């Protein structure tokens, strides 16, 4: 079958890598792709948030199945346009993508589904929001309602920070995303991510992961999109995962179906776990990046069969074949990230690295220039390895990191420390 993947980061490189291992894949196109993806698939330039353009491209290229990587095309309704045109699609409808695109919507769904999450209130007016913060006190969490590229959440440890965040959001600091604000109770505990496939009805867990959001070692410094991840997440034990499924995820999926917006695709549940009890922090309607990289390394070729089953409504027949293994990915970023950084530096040493089912360098932000791989983004490489233990996976990942010659890049040396 002919497959199109939308996106061009490390997540999409990992998806492409897993899909290519499955003999069902005859032709794979990734749009826009990147220099690493170009080594295993065809890259195409395409306006991926434009449903009409994507449908035309699929007609021209005789595509059978489309996998949507990032949230923006989902929030723009690209999955709906493709389904209307008769294509099989992995990714939720625009209506169902509101589980990520609107924090207020997700809170309402949790209320209706009786799913444990932080207490909250919702505001469209700064003065009312501030009065609520003064009444509740700190710590407290202020969130822009809409998509804000991961920047719309302020965890305020004191009242002044929370009040300032409200002014900032209603003052337009987060664009349209901040026109509505959700204020939440601060939750204590350990965070972990739970990934599930859904076909509108059946829910199938496909793995757990934890990531490191802070740029500095020991989880210090500025927030990033993620500096590394590992799977499985020890805190999401089988018992805790089952509780999350029974108390949070299945009721959410049932409520979505009841509202006429059944959820199809991957659901990424961010959970806070305290004393063995999970509560929902947020949903994302896509794979995490870099969490996808460790999940794909563990799932391999079966990932395509599972995604197809989700798209075609036959997940009830599927099961995941788990290896009792661990995977880790270390993000190599351009010096300066998540602040200002230079683009265009040359990365050497990649050709001599293994590219196997247990060691892969996924490219997140690279471009080929005159036959050389150069950095074209903040997060640039995802050095990923698998092992019988997390320590094995970590040793293998850093072995590859050490063989990469890129003076303009950096990484954290402590990925996985909480679990090790």
Q: Which of 138, 261, 158 is nearest to 201 (CA)?
A: 261
> Residue 148 or residue 303: which is nearer to ligand AMP going by CB?
148
User: Which of ligand AMP, ligand GLY, none lies near 191, with the C-beta cut-off 5 to 8 A by kind?
Assistant: ligand AMP
Tell me how far apart the alpha carbons of residues 39 and 41 are, in angstroms, rounded to a whole number. Answer: 6
Q: Which residues bind ligand GLY (CB under 6 A)?
A: 150, 211, 225-226, 284, 288-289, 291
Tell me how far apart the alpha carbons of residues 369 and 10 are, in angstroms, rounded to a whole number. Answer: 19
| Nearest distance from C-beta of residue 149 to ligand AMP, angstroms | 10
* 189 φ, ψ (degrees, to nearest 5): 135, -165
> Residue 88 or residue 98: which is nearer to ligand GLY going by CB?
98
Q: What is the token pair recorded at 195? A: 């990934």
User: Which of ligand GLY, ligand AMP, none lies near 211, with the C-beta cut-off 5 to 8 A by kind?
Assistant: ligand GLY
Tell me how far apart the alpha carbons of residues 358 and 360 are, in angstroms, rounded to a whole number. Answer: 7
Q: What is the token pair recorded at 308? A: 């197809």
> Residue 184 or residue 211: which is nearer to ligand GLY going by CB?
211
Tell me how far apart the alpha carbons of residues 245 and 267 are, in angstroms, rounded to a whole number. Answer: 11
290, 13 in Cβ contact below 8 A?
Answer: no
Q: Which residues bind ligand AMP (CB under 6 A)?
A: 118, 141, 153, 155, 184-187, 191, 270, 281-282
Q: For the chain, what's the residue count?
A: 420
> Residue 12 or residue 211: which is nearer to ligand GLY going by CB?
211
296, 303 in Cβ contact below 8 A?
Answer: yes
User: Which of ligand AMP, ligand GLY, none lies near 153, with the C-beta cut-off 5 to 8 A by kind?
Assistant: ligand AMP
- What sign for the dihedral angle of Cα 184, 189, 194, 198? negative
| Nearest distance from C-beta of residue 188 to ligand AMP, angstroms | 7
User: Which of ligand GLY, ligand AMP, none lies near 71, with the C-beta cut-off 5 to 8 A by kind?
Assistant: none
Three-state DSSP class for 79?
helix
Three-state DSSP class for 116?
coil
| Nearest distance from C-beta of residue 388 to ligand AMP, angstroms | 29
> Residue 87 or residue 283: which is nearer to ligand AMP going by CB?
283
> Residue 149 or residue 323: which is nearer to ligand GLY going by CB?
149
User: Which of ligand GLY, ligand AMP, none lies near 288, with the C-beta cut-off 5 to 8 A by kind?
Assistant: ligand GLY
């Amino acid at each position: 079958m002919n497959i199109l993947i939308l996106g061009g980061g490390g997540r999409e490189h990992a998806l492409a890598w897993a899909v290519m291992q499955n003999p069902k894949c005859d032709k794979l196109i990734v749009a826009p792709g990147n220099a690493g993806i170009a080594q295993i698939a065809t890259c195409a330039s395409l306006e991926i948030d434009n449903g009409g353009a994507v449908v035309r491209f699929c007609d021209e290229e005789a595509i059978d199945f489309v996998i949507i990587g990032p949230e923006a095309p989902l929030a723009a309704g690209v999955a709906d346009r493709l389904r209307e045109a008769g294509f099989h699609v992995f990714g939720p409808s625009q209506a169902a993508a509101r589980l990520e695109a609107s924090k207020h919507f997700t809170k309402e769904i949790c209320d209706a589904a009786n799913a444990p999450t932080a207490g909250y209130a919702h505001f469209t007016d700064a003065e009312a929001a501030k009065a609520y913060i003064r009444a509740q006190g700190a710590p407290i969490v202020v969130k822009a309602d809409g998509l804000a590229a991961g920047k719309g959440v302020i965890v305020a440890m004191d009242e002044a920070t929370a009040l300032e965040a409200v002014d900032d959001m209603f003052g337009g600091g987060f664009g349209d995303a901040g026109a509505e604000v959700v204020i939440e109770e601060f939750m204590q505990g350990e965070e972990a991510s739970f990934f599930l496939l859904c076909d509108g009805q059946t829910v199938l867990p496909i793995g757990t992961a934890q990531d490191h959001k802070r740029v500095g070692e020991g989880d210090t410094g500025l927030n990033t999109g993620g500096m590394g991840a590992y799977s499985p997440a020890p805190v999401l034990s089988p018992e805790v995962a089952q509780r999350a499924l029974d108390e949070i995820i299945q009721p959410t999926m049932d409520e979505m179906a009841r509202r006429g917006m059944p959820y199809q695709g991957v659901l990424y549940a961010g959970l806070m776990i305290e004393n063995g009890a999970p509560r929902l922090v947020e949903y994302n309607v896509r794979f995490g990046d870099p969490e996808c990289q460790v999940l794909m390394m563990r799932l391999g070729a079966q990932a395509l069969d599972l995604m197809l089953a989700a798209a075609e409504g036959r997940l009830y027949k599927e099961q995941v074949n788990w290896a009792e293994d661990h995977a880790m990915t270390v993000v190599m970023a351009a010096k300066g990230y998540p602040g200002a950084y230079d683009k265009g530096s040359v990365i050497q040493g990649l050709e001599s690295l293994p590219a196997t089912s247990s060691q892969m360098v996924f490219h997140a932000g690279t471009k080929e220039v005159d036959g050389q791989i150069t950095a074209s983004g903040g997060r640039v490489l995802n050095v990923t390895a698998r092992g019988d233990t997390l320590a094995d996976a970590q040793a293998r990942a850093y072995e590859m990191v050490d063989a990469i010659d890129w003076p303009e890049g950096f990484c954290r040396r402590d990925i996985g420390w909480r679990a090790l």
